[in-house]
Structure 1
């Protein structure tokens, strides 16, 4: 047993297939989701703005890449997710969540029908628990594969489409939430037109033996620069996208989290998945105006950001808690997401956030804070 394990009780951090590549590019590495991950290269704001205007390469290989195969795999997965999976056509993707029987969110994830199998991309910090949950609740004749020898790169930004099309012809024909298999340099890569920045872009699953060559080829293009976790977080916050472990936890439900769009109309009515009764009760609360809290967006006056854990007030009454917050480079002001008592969630509602024993004026704002620019076709 290593000294690290003995002293902390935690296993040593994992390394990404591109660990040496990141360090050679000048990355500052930090612990995240059990791995050493690049948080920035030239700077978070510079990487954020480059992504908004050109294309950035993010390494998200800490995510879990899983596959389900076997007769009725989609139908069996539907018993664990609130979304419609069995009607997902080959090459199509869908956002969904693993839920507990009490409606709590175990993880949020992306589901893709690849044709031969159902693919899942799950959060890095949750992947081992997700795998255990799936193995426990799926029938034995459904094969679950963890592609732990595959890396995952995200090319994000308005120039991502033209960059990738020049390198891998055919990828430009993909539209948001579609995916396909491509040949590249004698191997196969799986490309999805999706991401976590609010910008157009792709996620590229590639074998670890090929990932460095692909990363080199991408950053050789003057339109592409590497970017780290810092810019990824500020971009996803501007896009109003929740982060598991912060805005989503096992103690939050899809309705309170403002993710009801992921609950298909048919499944809301018919149920048949873990947590249906609890989720149906929250939907009824929403319709009746009796939902306890909702995830909302807040813009904050001044320059001081409100971080996770900051308390939200209406007058002298605490009405909520910030779950994500920071300074928006695009808007030039602090923004935040919070769970707030439903009576105070109407757009334009004036609230206050306590930061360093000071009250900051804030206003409920619709999300995304910065409009999404996904490519849905010409």
Structure 2
């Protein structure tokens, strides 16, 4: 009998290559995704920190908007988009009237258009949100999206397309490779230097194989992508941010441009601006925090946090947690009440026992971006 749950999943354009490479697949956001290869999550994680890992992120939505869409997009996103130069990319969040986050996304200002990359888990919602407010929204469905991440990513990609060596963090470019237009940004979701590369689906396997032929490059799955972003202190939608968590609470206030803040040239003008700008000025009710649990036991998402080892009310919860391979220790990100002292040891309720965790700065691993 067919597995209907698996049958209902969308396959990546490179599914056959992943199978050939020994991938183990898991469902994620409606897609059949490689979670790891034969080397395992730990090895893939450390390889990316040391060399260059190749990730298939084709489950993310790729969207094109008309060249003049930045002004309209500013009505949905609190980033300074009119100040975004051509050839550059900026991180942004869709906000709601209560100041919560509907999704986060990357916004690239290109010579011919505006290019967005939107989360897979929010694909349908994000596209509907854009189409309800903007004209000319085009979902790109004939391209794969790969991410090459790690300190040797530049050398490996430049061996195929030399022009990328001149790019710096958050630059975007369209580069030719064997007659195919590669849409490249110098960015990623690991905290390492690297690139995200949109490639026509028909040329995706050839391009991926060309990268993997380089001894510096290895395939890396969804498992290591999550542990890498956790070490980098990067938020995951649905965990560090959602419709009930503001970008200020999620530690993303930096993404709200000066021009969009109180007193700025284009202050406000986005959903929830009154709430978000008040939180920037006077503080938010909750704050994001890095946590270092004592011992070897990880504290996973949704573990309740307390300020005392016994009794007392909860002060928050863990939003993401696991083992940090680079650090060789468990790490976690939490959302706690803003009035919790910054030097207080917190206690996570793990299977009925309150275990201590120190508050520590984020990120856990310093970024390796080329600025």
Alignment TM class, shorter chain as reference = over 0.9
Structure 2 residue aligned with 1:297: 290
SS in 2 for 1:171: helix
Give the 3 Å change call, closer, same or farther, for CA 282–303 of structure 1 in structure 2: same
Structure 1 residue aligned with 2:363: 368
Question: Contact 2:307–2:344 (CA<8 Å) still a contact in 1?
Answer: no
* TM-score (norm. length: structure 1): 0.93
Give the 3 Å change call, closer, same or farther, for CA 345–368 of structure 1 in structure 2: farther
* TM-score (norm. length: structure 2): 0.95
Aligned partners of 2:152 and 2:19: how far apart in 1? 25
Aligned partners of 2:274 and 2:356: how far apart in 1? 38
Structure 1 residue aligned with 2:317: 321
Aligned partners of 2:341 and 2:74: how far apart in 1? 32
Deviation of the 1:88 alpha carbon: 0.9
Question: Contact 2:171–2:186 (CA<8 Å) still a contact in 1?
Answer: yes
SS in 1 for 2:103: strand
Aligned 1:165-180 pairs, distance under 5 A: 165-180=158-173
Question: Contact 1:296–1:345 (CA<8 Å) still a contact in 2?
Answer: no
Give the 3 Å change call, closer, same or farther, for CA 194–115 of structure 1 in structure 2: same
Q: Which runs of 4+ in 1 moved over 6 A?
A: none
Aligned 1:120-131 pairs, distance under 5 A: 120-131=116-127
SS in 2 for 1:343: coil
Structure 2 residue aligned with 1:82: 78
Give the 3 Å change call, closer, same or farther, for CA 3–298 of structure 1 in structure 2: closer
Structure 2 residue aligned with 1:279: 276
Deviation per CA, 1:219-268: give whole Å up to 9, x if none: 10011000000100000000000001111111111111111100111211
Question: Contact 2:298–2:330 (CA<8 Å) still a contact in 1?
Answer: yes
Aligned partners of 1:172 and 1:357: how far apart in 2? 52
Q: 1:225 aligns with which of 208, 218, 233?
A: 218
Task: Give ranges in structure 1 of 5+ residues lacking alignment.
Answer: none
Task: Give ranges in structure 2 of 5+ residues lacking alignment.
Answer: none
Q: 1:265 aligns with which of 253, 258, 268?
A: 258
Deviation of the 1:285 alpha carbon: 3.1
Number of residue pairs the alignment of both structures matches: 362
Aligned partners of 1:353 and 1:218: how far apart in 2? 43
Aligned partners of 1:368 and 1:11: how far apart in 2? 39
Deviation per CA, 1:324-371: give whole Å up to 9, x if none: 00011111111101110112252x321111112222210111100010
Structure 1 residue aligned with 2:104: 108
Deviation per CA, 1:32-80: give whole Å up to 9, x if none: 011000000020000000001110100000001101105x311000010
Deviation of the 1:197 alpha carbon: 0.3
Aligned partners of 1:56 and 1:121: how far apart in 2? 20
Structure 1 residue aligned with 2:204: 211
SS in 2 for 1:167: coil
Aligned partners of 2:145 and 2:26: how far apart in 1? 18
Deviation of the 1:184 alpha carbon: 0.4
Aligned partners of 2:341 and 2:271: how far apart in 1? 28
Deviation of the 1:136 alpha carbon: 0.6
